[in-house]
Amino acid sequence: MKCFIVTKAVRDRFRVLDVINKYGWDPTFCCDTRLAKVRLERMGVQPSQIVLSDLPENPGIQGVSRARDFICRQVMPRNEWCIWIDDNVEKITGIPAVASRDKLNFNDGRNWRELFTRELTPGQLKYQIRKTIERAEKFGTIFCGFANENNYFFRKNKWQDFGYCRTQFALYKNDGSTWFPFDTMMWEDGFKSIDVVARYGQIVINRHVKAEKPAFEKGGIGSFERRLPWLQDNCSKLVRIYPGLLKYREDHLNVHLKDDLERVKRREAAAKKVKEDRCTECGKMFLPPILLTGNTSQTSFCEKCRPVRDQGAQYGDDKAEGFHIVFAKCSPKTIEEWRKANGYL
């Protein structure tokens, strides 16, 4: 099965190659610089498995969204199920097929916590992917995701039909539609989930499978604190593009900010012990400044590269109090009514 990875080729977070080899997938790695291509080859990726994107120079925080759009326009085959996976996924866990049911009974005496954290064998994951695709084909949709929660208690029901498919590990049947609907797009998998529900009626999430990876890891697009203004901008635009389909959940804001600041403080303490870091852009060693915001420590750009890199990373132009939007209509009937009223049917 073909899989696609958007990457900056940062060695400290690059773990996905072992996962790909274990499950026998056919990978394509997409990067935006020749230096990243060289780094990928040094980490064991075949040159034939690497493509350079057509991104503008210094795409900033929009780089991943633009890269996914490029892949779907130029690289990923049309109307064929493919895999999205992040470059820092270290393993895929989930319930073995013999225990996976549409609704689980947590009172049957089994150790469900242990079952949910088992690393899936190639045969087990192939079965779960096949069942997920079968369900998507049954309902005529093109985007499937997997669980985000670590707490198994919230994963009793196997299937979820309305929500967000995270491209850290997802299945996608490319129909040629955009992943970059406006210039400030950063939350591309959230947009695509909404877009697919609007055009196809639902997505599919298999909550019995989960890709294991660290959150907001160095070498990515930044901390939650850095992403927040972009999320506010994107949510504000999406609420207007899909009127009546979405609503805000502002109660999550303080919880996420508190957790993110705690991570930044821990990272700051760890940074004091590190003398040098390698610049993600030019590859040279430099002494990283210690900032409470976490922006510099997560992006790892030296003083020379950082101002250039940040040209495309100014805050979005659309501000809103909330950053977390959910589907206001969450049943096949109400979604169908909304699609008819808004010209999608």
- Both tokens of residue 298? 């997560």
pLDDT tens track for 277-317? 677 667 777 665 543 333 333 445 566 665 433 333 333 34
The 10 Å Cβ neighbour count of residue 27 is 19
Give the residue among 7, 5, 4 at the shortest CA–CA distance from 220: 7
- With respect to residue 319, please indicate whether it lies within any of the assigned structural domains: no
pLDDT tens track for 106-148? 888 788 889 999 999 999 999 999 999 999 999 999 999 999 8
- With respect to residue 299, please indicate whether it lies within any of the assigned structural domains: no
Tell me the backbone φ, ψ of residue 250, rounded to 5 degrees.
-80, -10
pLDDT tens track for 47-71? 999 999 988 777 888 999 999 999 9
- With respect to residue 61, please indicate whether it lies within any of the assigned structural domains: yes
160 Cα distance to chain centroid: 17
Asked if 19 and 44 touch (Cβ cutoff 8 Å), the reply is no
- With respect to residue 265, please indicate whether it lies within any of the assigned structural domains: no
Q: What is the pLDDT of residue 29?
A: 98
- Both tokens of residue 92? 């895929």
What's the CA gap between 280 and 295, in Å, rounded?
A: 13
- With respect to residue 157, please indicate whether it lies within any of the assigned structural domains: yes
Asked if 293 and 268 touch (Cβ cutoff 8 Å), the reply is no
- With respect to residue 269, please indicate whether it lies within any of the assigned structural domains: no
Question: How many domains does the structure of the chain reveal?
Answer: 1
- Both tokens of residue 278? 């390698």
- Taking CA atoms, 270 is separated from 59, 205, 261, 291, 297, in Å, by 29, 36, 14, 12, 10
Q: Which residue has the tokens 């972009």?
A: 230
What's the CA gap between 296 and 286, in Å, rounded?
A: 12
What's the CA gap between 74 and 179, in Å, rounded?
A: 13
- With respect to residue 44, please indicate whether it lies within any of the assigned structural domains: yes
Q: What is the pLDDT of residue 252?
A: 54
Q: Residue 162 is part of a domain; what is its CATH number?
A: 3.90.550
What's the CA gap between 226 and 267, in Å, rounded?
A: 15
pLDDT > 90: percent of the chain: 58
What's the CA gap between 224 and 86, in Å, rounded?
A: 17
What domain range is 158 assigned to? 2-226+324-341
Asked if 12 and 35 touch (Cβ cutoff 8 Å), the reply is no
Q: What is the largest CA-CA distance in the chain?
A: 60
Beta strand pairing call for 81-85 and 169-173: antiparallel
- With respect to residue 88, please indicate whether it lies within any of the assigned structural domains: yes
What's the CA gap between 133 and 170, in Å, rounded?
A: 11
pLDDT tens track for 211-251? 999 876 665 676 667 777 888 889 889 999 999 999 887 55
